[in-house]
Amino acid sequence: MENNLLKQHLEGLLPEAVFAENKQYTEVLVPSDKLHAFCERLKASPELQFDYLISLTAVDWTDHFMLVCHITSTAFRHVLVVKSRIDDKEKPVADTLSDVWKTAEFHEREVYDLFGIRFRNHPDLRRLFLDDDYGFPLRKDFTDETRMIVK
Amino acid sequence: MQEEIIKNIILGEEEDYLINVGPQHPSTHGVLRFEVSLQGETIKKVVPHCGYIHRGIEKMCERDTYPQIIHLTDRMDYLSAHMNNEAVCLCVEKAMEVEVPERVTHVRTMLDELTRIASHQLWWCAMGMDMGALTTFFYGLRDREHILDIFEESFGTRLIQSVNTPGGLMQDIHPGFQKRVKEFISYFRKKLPEYDQLLTDNVIFRERSEGIAPLSREDAIQYGVTGPSGRASGFSCDVRKSEPYGIYKKLNFKEILRTEGDTLARYKVRIGEMYESMNILEQLVDNIPEGDYTAKMKAVLRLPVGEFFQRVETSRGELGVYIVSDGNKTPYRVKFRAPNFSNLFVISKLAPGYKIADLIAISGSLDLVIPDIDR
């Protein structure tokens, strides 16, 4: 789908959505309390049909976290980047997307494991790779003097 | 039928029996543990536990420069090492807007397909062996050796090539590369039908794979199952078709799709892909363009500030590389969307209702490489 047409559809779904500059894909920033409802609508909308979540991850920008989802439609092949800002660094929480796309359940477990972001209503939020007391290694302030070489 | 079995099992819920398959079990092909709840021989629930070989590659990437990252990606899915390298290279090249010589994209695509065949050969060996047919292991490895010899002759490495670098290849291909590839294709065209005679048409194999653990197209999309496992369910997920990179746009090849979605379909898609990869190689081998094997690159690579995403089809599915750059020589954040990561978790959906021996066949047909899950 054309970039402009896609933007028009998205504005119709969520007027608060902010579009960002991205050379490759259309990128949209969504308030974190609207993320779940927005994603549900993206999937259900017959013109968009975003039914396949490619990847869900987070980025630590030291003063806030950014959730980044790459989603696509198996029917139309257009790709969309959905971002959501989490401001609370002490107890970061986001709504789970696992009821929209099942694969998000495991991507979210990975994000929880490596960033410590909790997901509300997640069916099985356990650590995926690391021990319970390990800390959250992909946070920028993480250090592990015994096992990590810090340059 | 599956629902009925599950219903029967739930009636006797207190009697389930818990066993661990792995972490050191030959059929898990790596260090992975399945926590299996059984009733009798029937599986009630499968919970995969991973993280035994988590090395924190994404964290290490934040410390390393872009040419260094490439050597870490080899160690994710070591059987599609070349595609993993290529994914990072394509992402860096796209970000820096580097024009890569035609020879490089051409050779990269050929190496992609050789790697894909080698990977599917090893999967075929292991799949047969998991199900008790040891002979397949010798047949498959015998043929895979020819591909590894081609790699060794050109680059000096066999399993993981590490020959890609942002802008091109580390070194040119060996003068005998074309001849060796042609020899391999004519050799393997004769040998591949043997695979069907040996395993595909075997009665025991058929009984254990036909109709076992079917995955619907909707579930494949929901769980993000890509690669041959997804295509066996009719989920058209080939990145080579949907977002072509390299020279796949100019090539003429089929995306192997099946609709049954069972263990046998996943098996047949991979066999079909080996034929298809040979077709691609035949289109490429005679017209490798002359030219440089690398573009002129700066000594220190700095990506412009921004975010870049590259999708590549590895032998197991869709690999996504997501690089966030803040303008330094090391990336701010790297995320690998590993194909096996999503393919693994569908097993808790597929296995319940089937026998414990089927679990081995199902996980074999998903073709998991564990370092790619743990990263």
* In a domain? residue A53: yes
- pLDDT for B10 beyond 70: no
**Integer Cα distance of B321 and B52 in angstroms:** 23
Predicted confidence at residue B8, as pLDDT, reads 58
A100 lies in some domain: no
Q: Verify whether the Cβ–Cβ distance B341 to A114 is below 8 Å.
A: no
Q: A24 in a domain, yes or no?
A: yes
Residue of B nearest to A99 (CA): B222
Amino acid found at B123: W
Report yes or no on whether pTM surpasses 0.90. Answer: no
What is the CATH topology of the domain spanning B2-374? Answer: Cytochrome-c3 Hydrogenase; chain B (1.10.645)
pLDDT at residue A1 tops 60: no
pLDDT greater than 60 at residue B375: yes
Q: Residue A77's pLDDT band (boundaries 50, 70, 90)?
A: confident
- pLDDT averaged over every residue in chain B: 86
Show the tokens assigned to A146: 């015994």
Residue A108: inside a domain, yes or no?
Answer: no
Higher pLDDT, B10 or A47: A47
Structural domains counted in chain A: 1
| Confidence band for B14, pLDDT divided at 50, 70 and 90 | low
> Residue B339: what are its φ and ψ, rounded to 5°?
-65, -40
CA distance B53 to chain A (A): 9
- Alpha-carbon gap, residue B239 to B95, rounded angstroms: 19
What are the residues whose beta carbons fall under 8 Å from the beta carbon of A15, sequence distance 6 or more? none
Inform me whether the pLDDT recorded for B263 exceeds 70.
yes
pLDDT class for A151, splitting at 50, 70, 90?
low
- Nearest Cα of chain B lies from the Cα of A110 at a distance, in angstroms, of 10
**In chain A, what is the greatest distance between 2 CA atoms, to the nearest angstrom?**
53
Q: Which of B13-17, B29-33, B56-60, B128-132 has the lowest mean pLDDT?
A: B13-17
Residue contacts between A and B (CB atoms, under 8 Å): 76
Question: Which residue among B94, B222, B243 sits closest to A102, beta carbon to beta carbon?
Answer: B222
Task: Judge: A22–B306 Cβ closer than 8 Å, yes or no.
Answer: yes
Render pLDDT for A113-149 as a digit per residue (tens, 0 to 9): 888 898 888 888 888 888 888 888 888 888 777 766 6
Concatenated DSSP letters of B66-86? HHHHHHHHTTTSGGGHHHHHH
Say if A26 falls within a structural domain.
Answer: yes
The answer to the question of residue A30 being in a domain is yes
DSSP tag of B55? -
A106 occurs within a structural domain: no
Mean pLDDT, residues B258-265 taken together: 88
**Would you call A99 an interface residue with chain B, using a CB distance cutoff of 8 Å?**
no
Whether residue B13 is predicted with pLDDT greater than 60 in this model: the reply is no
User: Judging by DSSP bridges, how do beta strands A26-30 and A79-86 pair with one another?
Assistant: parallel
| Segment B186-192 mean pLDDT | 90
**A140: in domain:** no
- Segment B264-268 shows an average pLDDT of 90
Question: What per-residue confidence (pLDDT) applies to B186?
Answer: 92
Pick the residue of A106, A136, A151 with the most B CBs within 10 A to test the interface with B by mutation: A106
Question: A84 lies in which domain range?
Answer: 3-94
The mean predicted confidence, pLDDT, of chain A is 83
Asked if residue B9 has pLDDT above 60, the reply is no
Q: Do B342 and A103 touch (CB under 8 A)?
A: yes
3-class SS at B347?
helix
ipTM of the complex: 0.88
Nearest to B166 by CA among B92, B216, B76, B101: B92
pLDDT, residue A17, reads 72
B51 CB neighbours in chain A (<8 A) are: 127-130
Task: Say which CATH number the domain at A66 has.
Answer: 3.30.460.80
Q: Mean of the pLDDT values across residues B231-240? A: 88
> What's the pLDDT score for residue B322?
92
